[in-house]
Amino acid sequence: MKKTLRFIFITLILLCVAVFGTMFLLHGKNIAVLNPKGLIASKEKGLIITVCLLISIVVVPLFFLTIFTAYKYREGNDGANYSPEWDSDPLLEIIWWAIPAAIILVLSLIVWHTSSTLNYYKPIKSKVPPITIQVISLDWKWLFIYPKEKVASVNFIEIPQNTPIDFELTSDTVMNAFWIPNLAGQIMTMPGMETKIHILAYNKGTYYGVSSNISGSGFAGMRFAVQVSSLKNFNKWIESANRSSNILTMTSYKKLAKPSSYNHKKIYSLKDTGLFNAIVENYMVPVFGGPIMLTDSKG
């Protein structure tokens, strides 16, 4: 009875793991983080793999040792050694303090190195001049402003491939986080503060971005499409957007900023290029007379 039970359940556990593996493979192409389409996300994927490999130096032997120990020293296996008083071995203990410590040391060096190389505040070096996009999270949609191109859009970005994009982000509501898994990891947006991220997309296509920080009832609808196209098509898009009959000024912005959810893509022609700074500064109004400086970290 006991053995049958054990057999059935261990088989089931293994089956689960197998099914899990299959699911992973089946969805392979759809797993955004592991199918990067841009510079930053590619580096991040590489890092994920390096770290996994390094940790497996400890984890794989640990798992085999566990299975071996559990099997060999089971009750009833009288052939195995039994030393109930054996409770320490300085050499062994040093080994399992030292080996994980050594691996963590290597990992720490990686952390130190990648924290500066994959620093979102650092502009990406490229011969192509960068495009600036200002991002404002609202209840519950994203507003994107292209200040130089004088274009704005809701829940939609178009960017040219192989061109560095400098995002400047803030929020005109609660905290949100800006995440396009195919292109780069996330960064938070906060009212009265400006955060930054720099990305570069390799492949043409449509990718999706989300808000990854809970921000209220319309939160799930804060998805936006990212269209990566050729420079030619991008310029065409800018031209057509410039001709848009939707005009973004402070007045129309205030209407837009009112809570609404599951907003569709909308394109604006931008008339007020100082909009982003005005929104950031809006939260810095002093209450008690004296000026209060809110500084964000410049990384």
Partner 1 sequence: MNILGKLSINALPHDMVTLGGAMMMIVAIIFGIFYVTYTKRWSWLWKEWITTTDHKKIGVMYIFVSIIMGIRGFADVVLLRTQQATSVGASHGIVSANHFQQIFSAHGVIMIFFVAMGFLFGIVNLVLPLQIGSRDVAFPFLNATSFWLFAAGMVLMNASLIIGNFTYAGWLSYPPLSELKYSPGVGVDYWIWSLQIAGLGSLFSGINFLVTIIKLRCKGMALMKMPLFTWSVFGTMSLVILAFPILTVTLALLYLDRTIGTHFFTASGGGNMMMYVNLIWSWGHPEVYILVLPAFGIFSEVVSVFSRKRLFGYRSMVLAIWAIVFLSFIVWLHHFFTMGAGVDVNAFFGMMTMIIAVPTGVKIFNWLFTMFRGRIKFNASMIFFLGFIFLFTLGGVAGVMMAVPAIDYQLHNSLFLVAHFHTMIVSGVLFGDFIGVMYWFPKIFGFKLIDVYGRVAAYLWIIGFVVAFGPLYILGLMGATRRLDHYPAYTGWQPLFIVAGVGVFIIALAVLFQFIQLIVSYRKRNDNIDITGDPWDGRTLEWSTSSPPPFFNFAILPEVSNRDDFWEKKQRGLNSNNKEYTDIEIVKNTPIAMYIGSAACLFGFSAVWHIWWLLILSLIAVIVFIMIRTTDEETEYILTASKVAEIDKKVQWKI
Which parts of 23-82 interact with partner 1 (CB under 8 A)? 23-24, 27, 30-34, 41, 43-44, 47-48, 51-52, 55, 58-59, 62-63, 65-66, 69-70, 73-75, 80-82
State the number of binding residues for partner 1 (CB under 8 A): 112
Answer yes or no whether residue 179 interacts with partner 1 by CB under 8 A. Answer: yes
Q: Does 107 bind partner 1 (CB under 8 A)?
A: yes
Residue 245 binds partner 1, judged by CB under 8 A: no
Cα separation values, 207 from 26, 78, 234, 235, Å: 20, 61, 15, 19
Please tell me whether residue 242 binds partner 1 under the rule CB under 8 A.
no
How many angstroms separate the CA atoms of 119 and 58, rounded? 29
Is residue 116 near partner 1 by the rule CB under 8 A? yes
Among 57, 104, 124, 257, binds partner 1 (CB under 8 A): 104
Q: Are 260 and 217 in contact (CB under 8 A)?
A: no
| Residue 185 touching partner 1 (CB under 8 A) | yes
CB of 218 to partner 1, least distance (A): 7
The residue among 34 and 238 lying less far from partner 1, judged by its C-beta, is: 34
Q: H or E element: which one contains 275?
A: helix 275-282
Cβ-based nearer residue to partner 1, 120 or 202:
120
Closer to partner 1 by CB, 243 or 258: give it: 258
Find the shortest distance in angstroms from Cβ 13 to partner 1. Answer: 6
> Among residues 42, 132, 192, 203, which is the contact residue for partner 1, using CB under 8 A?
192
Place of tokens 């130089």: 148
DSSP, residue by residue, 181-221: TTTEEEEEE-BT--EEEEEEB-S-EEEEEEE-S--STTGGG
Q: Looking only at residues 259 through 288 of this chain, which bind partner 1 when binding is defined by CB under 8 A?
A: 282-288
For position 232 contacting partner 1 by CB under 8 A, the verdict is no
User: Which residue's CB is nearer to partner 1, number 136 or number 177?
Assistant: 177
Backbone angles phi, psi at 243, to 5 degrees: -85, 0
The distance of closest approach from Cβ of residue 147 to partner 1 in the complex, given in angstroms and rounded to an integer, is 21
The secondary structure of 214-260 as a DSSP string is: --STTGGG--EEEEEE-HHHHHHHHHHHHT-S-EE-HHHHHHHTS--
Site for partner 1 in 127-166 (CB under 8 A): none
Identified binder of partner 1 from the candidate list 124, 132, 166, 223, rule CB under 8 A: 223
User: What are the angstrom distances between the C-alpha of 20 and each of 17, 173, 193, 239, 249?
Assistant: 5, 39, 42, 48, 51
Q: How many CB atoms lie within 10 A of CB 138?
A: 24
Neighbours of 154 (CB within 10 A): 20
